Structure formats: C-alpha cells, structure tokens
Amino acid sequence: MKSNATFEVIDNFLPNEVFNTIYRQITGDQCFPWYLNHAKVMHVSRMIDPELQAKEIYNWQMVHKFYEMGRPQSQEWEILLPLINALQPRALIRIKANLNHHTDNLIEYDYHTDCGEYGTDQFAGATTAVYYLNDCDGYTFFQSGERVYSKANRLVKFPVNTPHAGTSTTDAKFRFVINLNYF
C-alpha cells in the first residue's frame, strides 16, 4: 500500500477469485453493454484553445453507468457488490466503468473531478476511488506530478475534489477502470 496526503494506493484490493469474476464479466466476450461518451472531459476552453481542439479527436470513451442519482442504473449492478462491500461506503454518489481505447502515442486527458463543479467543494468529504481491471501503461495522474499506473486489482482512493486525469494505453488493446464516488 502506498499512501500520501493526496491519495492511497492498495494493490490486490479484492481476493483473486472475486477480482477474476468482475474482470471476466466486464471485459469478456459475453456482450457487456458499453455506451459511447462523446467527451471524457468537458471544458469550455476546448472551444477556444487551439491546442485543446487538436486533442479533441481523442476526447471520447466507452462507459457503463452502474449507479447514479440515488439508484442503480444498470442490470449489471450486482457485479460490483463485492467491490462496494469492500469499500464500505456510507452512501454512493456514482459508479461507472470506463473503457479507453489504444492509441499509438500515450494521450494524457484533461484534469477533472468526478462529481460537482470543477474547483468547488460541492461534495466535500466524499471519496473518489479508481479500480483498475487490467495491466497497461496507462495511469491516473495528479497535479502534484504523481502517477498511479494501471495494474489489475489495484485501487487508488483520494478526496473527490482532487483534480486528476487519466490516459489512453499504448501497450494494450483497452484500458479498463471503474470509478466510484461515495461518502
């Protein structure tokens, strides 16, 4: 386990058999439903900043919303109950899986927070957890310059209002993560 003032990293977060079940159900060939999200990160500055406009072609991902607006949003909701039980949240805000595609060069996406308006304390006291489903050269990075690399069955936790960002992957077909926001 690695910890600092900003985040905590826990390897082998779930028992292997539990992790493998979640992994197979979400990443397997059994037609798990993924939905197009036209923007990974939405910023008004993308409309006026030429550098950000050039990266716009990479600003998309496939997602699966498990939980939002106070209730499950997916029939696959129960897949994640062992993960939720291990975190022991008092209340859930949102849970979604992200599937990022392979790119020839590693793309670092824009900083964001998962809940509330960027730069506010709207959800002060809440936690963001990123649970990695596969090994790849992708990572989550923070404004401090620190990186947490994608490693299967790894979890990183940090305050929900901490700006962070993710990347694509160059050494795997996909990068799979589950984002959980909770109190």
Q: Given this model, what pLDDT does residue 166 score?
A: 95
For the segment 146-171, the average pLDDT, to the nearest whole number, is 96
Question: Using CA atoms, how far apart are residues 122 and 17, in angstroms rounded to an integer?
Answer: 37
**Which pLDDT score is estimated for 43?**
54
Question: What is the domain range of residue 86?
Answer: 2-28+35-182
Lowest mean pLDDT among 41-45, 108-112, 149-153, 171-175: 41-45
pLDDT bracket for residue 31 (50, 70, 90):
confident
**3 state DSSP class of 96:** strand
Q: How many CA atoms lie within 13 A of 34 on its CB side?
A: 23
Q: Give residue-wise pLDDT tens across range 42-96.
A: 654 444 566 665 667 777 899 999 999 999 999 999 999 999 999 999 999 999 9
C-beta neighbour count of 87 within 10 angstroms: 17
Provide, rounded to the nearest whole percent, the portion of the chain with pLDDT above 90.
71
Contact call for residues 126 and 132 (beta carbons, < 8 A): no
Query: Is residue 27's pLDDT more than 90?
Result: yes
CATH for 94: 2.60.120.620
Q: Scan for tokens 């790119």, then name that residue.
A: 103
Average pLDDT, the chain: 89
Determine the Cα–Cα distance for residues 48 and 169; give it in Å rounded to an integer.
27
Q: H-type helices in the chain, by residue range?
A: 16-27, 50-55, 81-87
Q: Of 39, 45, 42, give the one whose Cα is nearest residue 59.
A: 39
The pLDDT value recorded for residue 45 is 47
> What's the total number of domains in the chain?
1
Most confidently predicted of 6-20, 26-40, 105-119? 6-20
What six digits make up the tokens of 177? 């993560």
CA terminus-to-terminus distance, the chain: 21
